[in-house]
């Protein structure tokens, strides 16, 4: 798979590797460096580049994406909560704690390992490490995601996500109470310069748009529906922090909560057009029990 990026004014002067870290947020600095050293990165059609190359406005950067080496993917008998399945796709309700695909830090026990055990055919567009994976959820985010069984379905679903015709709705419990009942967050998001494992709102990076609506208010928190317009890494979590109300139990962007293993963020609703039948399909997944239990302990805010 090839990705192409144009260097805009706010990226001019950046090192090539830093520029690509912002654009390819799923990849580590070492993986980016490896891509450059293997001549898989071209600038204005030229390869043989150095990671420290200073980019100029208007340059075109082309990257041939290849999966990280030395990671194999094997089938593992991990239970799956399959909400829907047909010849082209399946919808999974992912539990909290399950990583979607193998990476350098998690080489087994992922959703992909489970899919390889339970599903005969998966699309190959994203390579052997991400078969069938059209979009992802963070490890500690639960809820719905769609998996493609063939390349036709994969291309259609990926295009729908790109064109914002695939709708993804989330429920999150936020620390404190938002002043607004509903609104829209529109920022740029990029890797945090101080901690490359985190994302941050910045004056540069990739555009991120999230709509939100408060559904229920408690004394010390509020239940909020988020609807993604873009799909950046950690987008809702970063935007919640940007609003000064991090997701409850978000260890990275907020605070740990005793008794909770991760952020109270759940992808509860997913809508898309079926690639073969052209019918609109909508799926919903109820909040996990630990999420409900935590809310039951909260006192309803007085209006």
Active site residues: 138
**What is the C-alpha to C-alpha distance for residues 193 and 184, in angstroms, rounded to an integer?**
25
Contacts of the segment 15-21: beta carbons below 8 A, 24+ positions apart: 15/51, 15/52, 15/53, 15/54, 15/55, 16/41, 16/43, 16/49, 16/50, 16/51, 16/52, 16/53, 16/54, 16/55, 16/61, 17/51, 17/52, 19/55, 19/61, 20/61, 20/63, 21/191, 21/196
As a whole number of angstroms, the distance between CA 239 and CA 64 comes to 30
With residue 293 as reference, give the H or E element that holds it.
helix 289-296
CA–CA distance, 286 with 298 (Å, rounded to integer): 19
How are beta strands 167-175 and 142-148 bridged, if at all?
unpaired
Question: What are 17's two structure tokens?
Answer: 């590797």
Pick from 277, 265, 281: nearest CA to 225: 265
């Amino acid at each position: 798979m090839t990705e192409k990026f144009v260097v805009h004014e706010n990226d001019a002067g950046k090192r090539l590797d830093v520029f690509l870290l912002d654009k390819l947020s799923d990849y580590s600095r070492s993986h980016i460096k490896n891509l450059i050293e293997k001549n898989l990165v071209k600038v204005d059609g030229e390869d043989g580049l150095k990671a420290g190359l200073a980019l100029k406005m208007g340059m075109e950067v082309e990257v041939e994406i290849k999966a990280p080496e030395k990671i194999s993917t094997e089938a593992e008998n991990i239970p799956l909560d399959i909400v829907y399945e047909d010849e082209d796709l399946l919808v999974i309700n992912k539990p909290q704690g399950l990583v979607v695909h193998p990476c350098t830090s998690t080489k087994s026990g992922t959703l992909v390992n489970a899919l390889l055990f339970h599903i005969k055919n998966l699309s190959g567009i994203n390579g052997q490490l991400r078969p069938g994976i059209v979009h992802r959820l963070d490890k500690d985010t639960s809820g719905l995601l769609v998996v493609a069984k063939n390349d036709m379905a994969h291309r259609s679903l990926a295009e729908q996500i790109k064109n914002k015709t695939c709708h993804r709705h989330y429920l999150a419990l936020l620390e404190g109470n938002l002043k607004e009942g509903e609104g829209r967050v529109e920022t740029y998001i990029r890797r945090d310069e101080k901690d490359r494992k985190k994302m941050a709102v910045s004056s540069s990076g990739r555009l991120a748009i999230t709509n939100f609506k408060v559904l229920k208010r408690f004394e010390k928190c509020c239940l909020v529906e988020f609807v993604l317009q873009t799909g950046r890494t950690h987008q809702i979590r970063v935007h919640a922090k940007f609003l000064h109300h991090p997701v409850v139990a978000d260890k990275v962007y907020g605070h740990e909560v005793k008794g909770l293993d991760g952020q109270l963020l759940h992808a509860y609703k997913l809508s898309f057009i079926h690639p073969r039948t052209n019918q609109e399909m909508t799926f919903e997944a109820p909040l996990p029990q630990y999420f409900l239990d935590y809310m039951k302990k909260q006192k309803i805010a007085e209006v």
